Structure 1
Amino acid sequence: MIFYLFISLILIGMGAHYSGRLFERIKLPSLIGMMLLGMVIGPSFLNIVPNVTLQLSPTLKDIALVTVLFIGGLGISLKQMKQIGRPAILLSTIPATLEGFTIALLAMPLLHFNFIQGAILGFIIAAVSPAVLIPSMIDLIDRRIGQDKAIPQMLLVGASADDTIAITLFTTFLGIYTQGGRTPSIGLQILMIPISIIFSLFIGYLLYLLTKPLLKHTTSIYIKTLICFGICLILRFIEKKFHLELFNSLLTVMIYGFWIRNFIVDNAPSILALMNSIWKVGKLYLFAFVGMAINPNLVGQFFLIGCALLIVSLTLRSIGVLIALIGTNLSYKERLFCVIAYLPKATVQSAKAAIPLEMGVAGGEIMQAIAILSVLITAPIGAIGIKLTSDKFLQKETKEAGSH
């Protein structure tokens, strides 16, 4: 069994690498090639991936997400955080809530759901995809694009908290449904959203304080990186193992990286370089396994209704992004780029799509189909849109400007 696991992981990694390279050659984002490979070899089509590997996929996806969010935190400076604070907060709240409640209302006439069923579907779909958005933003940071106004950093922070809000509201409405529609705890659940975010920020800061002396007295940069990355993985494991709703481990990981970048300055560039090396491998498995979770066969029956639902909800989401950016110094092109970057769905939808059906929610199979449809439509559009518009709509920072 271990032999099959080992061989399959090597082959998946090689296949994802070459499929990604192929799509880069035709000027498309590599992640689309990796996701398509996963979809083709996964359960929906060829079904040649061993079960032992599929069972490991949630763990591997988590490791890859932790990697990319830690890198994201290491890429945000204190000056940039001050610059992006208000719009990042608004980006984390307005687009997701607008989209989620729009779907909740539209699902009533279009799918004959009640409001609670619609809200369950709405907040599965409402989360932006960290798997698509965050690697793209890290690439822009590396290429010093959009740095004059810290646009990639703003989207990184906003998207991380956006997921917290969408997932919290999804679990809230799912809980209301399973309790037979009783709503005494909904106010408390909504109050838990800012508490969860604040607690996540606090845990990230506390971990930095606890590990700072250890990092200062460790000479090997490899051991320092192993300590930091190990802490990030343990955080994710604890949240998943104990189903903790009080904090978002992925947001905590990003904040932990932010503190290391800004207050353990000597070590941060070396840690970042090593984490980037890990990410080169991690992204192969993240996107391949996201592709394996996609089942296009579910989509056909609800394709037209699903497309209509998504067109309206994404329009409202885009308006939410523009509202969040009111009062900033972004140009029209930069605002449009932010709208495009906030379109893709993938990770949360792949992970949550089957939960309502598993829990016996009426219409669960419809929810799963439309959630999968949202991935199939928005992940390529968002990834291609970011690639096509980033160099044209955002400013490239010169090395001289970046050094000040």
Structure 2
Amino acid sequence: MEQLPEVSKVNKSRWFSKECQNYSMYTTGSNIEHLEDKNIQSSTTSQILEDSNTSKHEETKETVISRTEEIKPQSICPPRGTLNRSITVGVLLFMIWCVIWSVSGHENQPDGNLVGLFIVFYSALIGGKLLEIIRIPSVPQLPPLLGMLLAGFTIRNVPFFSTHVHINSTWSSTLRNIALTLILIKAGLGLDPQALKNLKRVCFRLSVGPCLMEACSAAVVSHYLMHFPWEWGFLLGFVVGAVSPAIVVPSMLLLQKHGYGTEKGIPTLLIAASSLDDIIAITGFSTCMGIAFSTGNVFSNLLHSFRNIVSGILLGVVLGIFVRYFPSEDQTNLALKRAFLVLSMCVTTVLVSNHFGIHGAGGLCTLMLTFIGGLSWSKDKIGVQNVISIAWNIFQPLLFGLVGLEVSVASLKSNAIGVSVATMSSALLMRICFTFILMSCAGFNLKEKIFIALSWIPKATVQAVLGPLALETARTSAPNLEPYSKDVMTVAFLAILITAPNGALIINLLGPKLLAQQDPNKIVV
């Protein structure tokens, strides 16, 4: 009985020591786990920091690489940019020519029409590009169409090229008529109803008055100086009486971009009036050409011309209403379909009207069709204009190259150039003075009136179409009138050669000096 407590004490001591060991193991383990958690957290934090530093390093490395790639000059081979685009377009046109060559007959021979058109197109294209590259310090860039015109003139008057380049007159006339159609489409789509409404009085005076005054002045001077009949004098007057939107519009847009003359709407006025000016000139030319090549009396010819004008306007209104609703708004590629439909309709009407001798009806139909159709297209109108601009970029070198090809120095009379320049200069001087007078009561100051009068002289696109048109008509229907048509062609060529570069220089040089500048950020176009 006495040994039990001792045993119990021993057991208790053993139990206590065991519990102490368990407690120490528990505390040690918790401390180890706590330290491990801290180590894990610290390692995770350091890993996160390392990852962030690595990502930042990689991002900076990528930005440095991208900036280095941007700074790194582009390799010459393979070419990029403008050179690549030019080569691509050249190869595409060459392949189109190869396809036509494979299905055509004798036209693919070295003296055929296709080879001639190929040479004229690329020569005019190169001439325009060279004029863009050649820059004179402190002088605005000359219009590329001048280089295209000189390229065709060089092909015609250099003996080696003139003996190898042959283009049928029918092909040349058809291509120029298509170019005229594109000009009329651009003019019809470029008419802004809001601008015409706001500037209707001064715009009407600026588009109708100077054109009619220059046409009448050219008719009088050519009748007494060049011995033209009155109908041919007025025909020549309407040829040289049209202003060129190809020069006026880009120059006005550049001035408008920098805020010159925008407070009184001078760039908008000139852009809108240039299209109306061309409409008046083309209508007058068609009427005079119908009278010049007809055999009846004057009254019947005027009645016939009036009938052609009315029929062209009515047909254009009907077709314009049609293209407002066809294709519908729910179709895809709407701008491309509308542009193709308008282009096909307008080219067909112009060519068919010329085939039947109704020269003015097709042009008026084109203008009315595009103007009425464009009223309901709103924002899609810009897409149609872009497609038409692409087509114009193809036909522009052909147009001016073919116009230069029609002028032969060997066939000119000894005094033809001097008389032609005198006739054109006299009519142009009357145009400038009359424009200044018409703008005197329109709310413009002296500098603005001088600028508007001088900026109304460039001539290019309409003269390039109408001048050869009279020559082609005389060759096919009235060979006895060919001398008059050749003189008209010479005056049109000289008008482009003289007024196109000088007009562009005058607009770009005098615009910043004579027009008040407004902040471009505050301009509402």
Normalised by the shorter chain, which TM-score bucket? 0.7 to 0.9
Whether the 8 Å CA contact 1:29–1:384 is kept in 2: the answer is no
Name the CA distance, whole Å, in 1 between partners of 2:280 and 2:209. Answer: 9
Matching residue within 154, 159, 173 for 1:40:
154
> Any unmatched runs of 5+ in structure 1?
none
Q: CA deviation at 1:17?
A: 4.2
Matching residue within 209, 225, 233 for 1:94:
209
Q: CA deviation at 1:9?
A: 6.3
Alignment pair present for 1:354 and 2:482: no
Q: CA deviation at 1:261?
A: 5.3
For residues 109-157 of structure 1, give each alpha carbon's deviation from its aligned partner in whole angstroms, at most 9, with x where no partner exists: 3234453453344344334445555665676677776555212332333
Name the CA distance, whole Å, in 2 between partners of 1:336 and 1:201. Answer: 37
Whether the 8 Å CA contact 2:324–2:377 is kept in 1: the answer is no
Name the CA distance, whole Å, in 2 between partners of 1:6 and 1:18. Answer: 18
What is the correspondence of 1:366-377 to structure 2 with a 5 Å cutoff? 366-377=487-498
Name the CA distance, whole Å, in 1 between partners of 2:505 and 2:318. Answer: 35
Matching residue within 317, 337, 346 for 1:235:
346
Matching residue within 148, 152, 161 for 2:270:
152
**Inter-CA distance 19–80: structure 2 relative to 1 (3 Å threshold):** same
What is the correspondence of 1:301-316 to structure 2 with a 5 Å cutoff? 301-316=415-430
Whether the 8 Å CA contact 2:287–2:302 is kept in 1: the answer is no
Identity over aligned pairs, percent: 20
**Inter-CA distance 117–229: structure 2 relative to 1 (3 Å threshold):** same
**Inter-CA distance 153–131: structure 2 relative to 1 (3 Å threshold):** closer
Name the CA distance, whole Å, in 1 between partners of 2:466 and 2:226. Answer: 19
**After the TM superposition, which of the residue ranges 126-135 and 231-240 deviates more from structure 2?**
126-135
> Partner residue of 1:386?
507
Whether the 8 Å CA contact 1:137–1:152 is kept in 2: the answer is yes
Q: CA deviation at 1:21?
A: 1.9
2:506 counterpart letter in structure 1:
G
Name the CA distance, whole Å, in 2 between partners of 1:373 and 1:9. Answer: 20
For residues 60-115 of structure 1, give each alpha carbon's deviation from its aligned partner in whole angstroms, at most 9, with x where no partner exists: 44444444554454444332121232333334432233222223333343234453
Instruction: Give the secondary-structure state (helix, strand or coil) at the position aligned to 1:305.
Output: helix
Aligned-residue Cα RMSD (Å) equals 4.0
Q: CA deviation at 1:367?
A: 4.4
**Inter-CA distance 127–276: structure 2 relative to 1 (3 Å threshold):** closer
> Partner residue of 1:109?
224
> Partner residue of 2:234?
119
Q: CA deviation at 1:270?
A: 3.5
Name the CA distance, whole Å, in 1 between partners of 2:315 and 2:514. Answer: 33
Alignment pair present for 1:4 and 2:121: no
Name the CA distance, whole Å, in 2 between partners of 1:192 and 1:330. Answer: 40
1:292 counterpart letter in structure 2:
L
**Inter-CA distance 343–210: structure 2 relative to 1 (3 Å threshold):** same
**After the TM superposition, which of the residue ranges 258-267 and 159-168 deviates more from structure 2?**
258-267
Whether the 8 Å CA contact 2:124–2:152 is kept in 1: the answer is no
Whether the 8 Å CA contact 1:99–1:317 is kept in 2: the answer is yes
Instruction: Give the secondary-structure state (helix, strand or coil) at the position aligned to 1:47.
Output: helix
**Inter-CA distance 56–338: structure 2 relative to 1 (3 Å threshold):** farther
**Inter-CA distance 56–326: structure 2 relative to 1 (3 Å threshold):** farther
What is the correspondence of 1:326-337 to structure 2 with a 5 Å cutoff? 327-337=441-451
1:306 counterpart letter in structure 2:
S
Alignment pair present for 1:263 and 2:384: no
Whether the 8 Å CA contact 2:190–2:272 is kept in 1: the answer is no
Q: CA deviation at 1:304?
A: 2.8
**After the TM superposition, which of the residue ranges 10-19 and 97-106 deviates more from structure 2?**
10-19
Alignment pair present for 1:225 and 2:345: no
Alignment pair present for 1:342 and 2:453: no
For residues 152-208 of structure 1, give each alpha carbon's deviation from its aligned partner in whole angstroms, at most 9, with x where no partner exists: 3323332222223431342244046x44xx322355367569747854773574244
Q: CA deviation at 1:219?
A: 1.8
Name the CA distance, whole Å, in 2 between partners of 1:54 and 1:395. Answer: 49
Q: CA deviation at 1:392?
A: 4.3
Name the CA distance, whole Å, in 2 between partners of 1:65 and 1:74. Answer: 14
Which structure has the greater CA radius of gyration? Answer: 2
> Partner residue of 2:66?
none
**After the TM superposition, which of the residue ranges 258-267 and 230-239 deviates more from structure 2?**
258-267
Name the CA distance, whole Å, in 2 between partners of 1:31 and 1:63. Answer: 17
Alignment pair present for 1:161 and 2:279: yes
Select the structure with the greater relative contact order (CA < 8 A; seq sep ≥ 6).
1
Whether the 8 Å CA contact 1:39–1:288 is kept in 2: the answer is yes
> Any unmatched runs of 5+ in structure 2?
1-106, 109-113
Name the CA distance, whole Å, in 2 between partners of 1:354 and 1:308. Answer: 21
Q: CA deviation at 1:337?
A: 3.6
Q: What is the number of equivalent residue pairs in this alignment?
A: 396
2:195 counterpart letter in structure 1:
Q
Whether the 8 Å CA contact 1:129–1:348 is kept in 2: the answer is no
Instruction: Give the secondary-structure state (helix, strand or coil) at the position aligned to 2:361.
Output: coil
**Inter-CA distance 92–41: structure 2 relative to 1 (3 Å threshold):** same
Name the CA distance, whole Å, in 1 between partners of 2:174 and 2:135. Answer: 27
1:22 counterpart letter in structure 2:
I
Q: CA deviation at 1:252?
A: 5.0
